[in-house]
Structure 1
Amino acid sequence: MADWDDLKVFLAVARGDSLSRAGRVLKMDAATVGRRVTRLEAALGARLFSRSPQGYGLTDEGARLVHHAEAIEAEMERAREALSGPGEGISGQIRIGAPDGCANYLLPQVVAGIVAENPALEVQIVALPRVFSLTRREADMVIAVSRPEQGRVIATRIADYHLSLAASTAYLADAPPLDTLDDLRTHRVIGYIPDMIFDRELDYLADLGVEQAPVTSNSVSVQLNLIRQGAGVGVVHDFALPATQGITRVLTRTFRLTRAFHLVRHADDRKVPRIERFSQALVAGMRAEIARLEAQVHQQATA
C-alpha cells in the first residue's frame, strides 16, 4: 500500500522527468528520491517509470497513477484548508506563469495587493515568453492569450486588452511622416522574432501588413525599451504605457488591436480552496488594473 509521502515523490518525478529536478523541489537528494520511487514501485507491484539517459518517463501504469495521485493531492489540500479555517486568508505557495508583458506591467501591482491582504501567501511569478505545461506542474496557473483547445484544464476569460502602435517622441521628431499605415514602409518596425512566436495571437505584423521587422525581440519588455530608445515604431500594450516615459501612440484612429487574457488552471484544482480563492482575487484584480491603466492612457490622449 502506498503512502502519501511516496506519492508526493512520485508526482515530483513525473513532473520533473528526473530525480535531480524532483529532489530540488522536494529538498532532498536524488538518491533518496530514487529509493522512494523504487519503494513505491515495489509496494504497488508495478513499474512506474522507464529509465533512460534522457530522464524518467512515465510508463502506462505510471500515467494512470498520476491522475489518482493528483486527486489525493487535491484532497490533502482541501483538508489543510478546512483545518486552517476560512478566516486565515490565503496561504502557501502559488506559482503563476505569464507572458512577460503581463508579468511586467500588470501582475506586480495586482499581486502586491493580494499578498498585502494575505501575509502567509507566497507568490512566484514566472515571466517567460512561451507556453507553460500545467500537466508537468511548471505552474499552478497560467495567464494565456489564446484559450486552450485541449487538455484537462479550466479557462476563465479575464478581460480584453488593447494594443497600439507607438514610438518615442525623439524618434518621431526626426523620422519621416507617419500619417497612414502605408507610411510604415519608410520606418523601422520593431516586433517579435518570427520563429519564436509561441501564440498566433502575438503575430501583430500581419495586422500591420508588414512582412518582416528589422528590429526584433522575443520579449515585450525589450521591444518596449527599443521603442523608448528610438529604434523604431512598434506595437505596445496600452496598459504598459503609463509605466514608460517618452513614448506616444501613433495612428490611433486607424490601428488598434484587441486581445484577451485567460486564466488557465489544471482541472483537478477546481476544488482546491486556496487555488480557487487566489484565482478569484487575481481575475478581479487584473480586470480592475487593465481598466484603470487603459483609462489613464485614454485620458492622456484626450487631454
Structure 2
Amino acid sequence: MPDWDDLRIFLAVSRSESLSGAGKALRLDPATVGRRIAKLEEAMGARLFVRNPQGYALTVDGQRLVAHAAQAELAVAGAMDELRGTAGSLTGQIRIGAPDGSANYLLPQVVAAICDENPGLDVQIVALPRVVNLSKREADMAIAVSRPATGRLTVQKLTDYKLHLAAARSYLARHAPIETLNDLQHHRMIGYIPDLIFDSELDYLAETGVKGLGLASNSVSVQFNWVRLGAGVAIVHDFALPAAPDLVRILPDQLSLTRSFYLIRHPDDRRVDRLNRFAEALAAGVRREVARLEAQVDTEQA
C-alpha cells in the first residue's frame, strides 16, 4: 500500500502537470519527485502518468487514484486540525482566486475584516485575468463572473454588481461633451484586449456599439488607472469608483450593466468545516461591501 507522503507527491504532480511544478510546491528537487512517482507506480503496479509535450498527464489509472488521494488529503487535514485543537475554527492558510477587478477593489477590505476577527487565519488572493483552475488546486476557492459550464464543482451566487461608463473630470473638461452613446465614437475608449477576454460576461464594450479601442489591457487595474489619469472613457465597476473620487459616471440613464459574482468550490471541500465557515464569511462580506460601495456612489453622484 502507498504511504501518504507518496500520495501527496502524486497529487502535486497531477495538479501542476510537471515534476518541476510539483517540486516547487513541495520544496523538493524535481528528480526526487520523479523517483517518488516511479516508486508509487511500482507499488501500485500501474502507470499513473504519461509524458506529453504539455507535461505529465494522468492515465486512466491515475485518474482513478486522484479521487481517492484527494479524500485522503482531506482526512489528513481534518485529523491535523483536531490534533491542533483548531477543528471548526478559522485558522491556517486559505487561497482565493479572483478576477483582478474584485481582487483589487473588493476583496482586500472584505478579507481584511475576516482576518481581523480571526487572527490565526492566513489568506492569499490570487488575481488572475483568467478562470482559476480548482481541479489543479491553484486555489481553495474562486470567485468568477459566470457559472462554470463544465467540471465537478459547486457554485454559489454571491451577488449582482453594476457597471457604468466613467471618465475623469479632467478628461471630460478637455473633450467634447458626451450626451448620447453615439458621442462615444469621438472619444478614446478603454477596455479589454478583444482576443484575451476570457469570459463573455466581460465583453462590456459590445453593448456600447463602439467599434475599436484606443487603449486596451487584459487587466482591469490597468484600465482603471488609465481612466483615473484622464486617458479616456471606460466601463467601470461601481464598487471601484470610490477608490478614485475624480471619476464620474457617464450616461447612467442610457447604459447600466449588471453582472454577477459566483463562488466556485471543489465539492470535496464541502466536508471541511473551516472552509465552509470561511466561504460563509466571504459571501456575507462581499454582499455587504458591494451594497455599501454602490450606495455610496449613488449618493455622491446623484
Secondary structure of 1:279's counterpart equals helix
Give the deviation of 1:75 after TM superposition. 2.1
Give the deviation of 1:86 after TM superposition. 5.9
CA contact (8 A) 2:81 2:87 kept: no
The AA in structure 1 aligned to 2:192 is Y
Specify whether residues 199 and 54 from structure 1 end up closer, same or farther in structure 2 by C-alpha distance, changes over 3 A only. closer
CA contact (8 A) 2:91 2:120 kept: yes
Residues 1:77 and 2:77 are matched in the alignment: yes
Equivalent residue, structure 1, for 2:205: 205
Specify whether residues 38 and 287 from structure 1 end up closer, same or farther in structure 2 by C-alpha distance, changes over 3 A only. same
Equivalent residue, structure 2, for 1:269: 269
Equivalent residue, structure 2, for 1:294: 294
Q: How does 1:95-106 map to 2 (within 5 A)?
A: 95-106=95-106
Secondary structure of 2:301's counterpart equals helix
Equivalent residue, structure 1, for 2:64: 64
Equivalent residue, structure 2, for 1:235: 235
Q: In 2, distance between residues paired with 1:293 and 1:42?
A: 57
Secondary structure of 1:101's counterpart equals helix
Equivalent residue, structure 1, for 2:185: 185
Equivalent residue, structure 2, for 1:36: 36
Q: How many residues align?
A: 302
Give the deviation of 1:167 after TM superposition. 0.5
Q: In 2, distance between residues paired with 1:222 and 1:198?
A: 16
List gaps (5 residues or longer) in structure 2: none
Q: How does 1:1-303 map to 2 (within 5 A)?
A: 1-52=1-52, 54-85=54-85, 89-302=89-302
Secondary structure of 1:162's counterpart equals strand
Give the deviation of 1:80 after TM superposition. 2.9
The AA in structure 2 aligned to 1:151 is G
List gaps (5 residues or longer) in structure 1: none
The TM-score normalised by the length of structure 1 is: 0.96
The AA in structure 2 aligned to 1:126 is V
The AA in structure 1 aligned to 2:265 is R
1:68-99: CA deviation from partner (whole Å, max 9, x where unpaired): 11111122223333444467731222111111
Q: In 2, distance between residues paired with 1:87 and 1:63?
A: 30
The AA in structure 1 aligned to 2:44 is L
Give the deviation of 1:154 after TM superposition. 0.3
| Aligned Cα root-mean-square deviation (Å) | 1.4
Q: Percent identity?
A: 60
Q: In 1, distance between residues paired with 2:143 and 2:119?
A: 23
The TM-score normalised by the length of structure 2 is: 0.96
The AA in structure 2 aligned to 1:100 is D
CA contact (8 A) 1:163 1:257 kept: yes
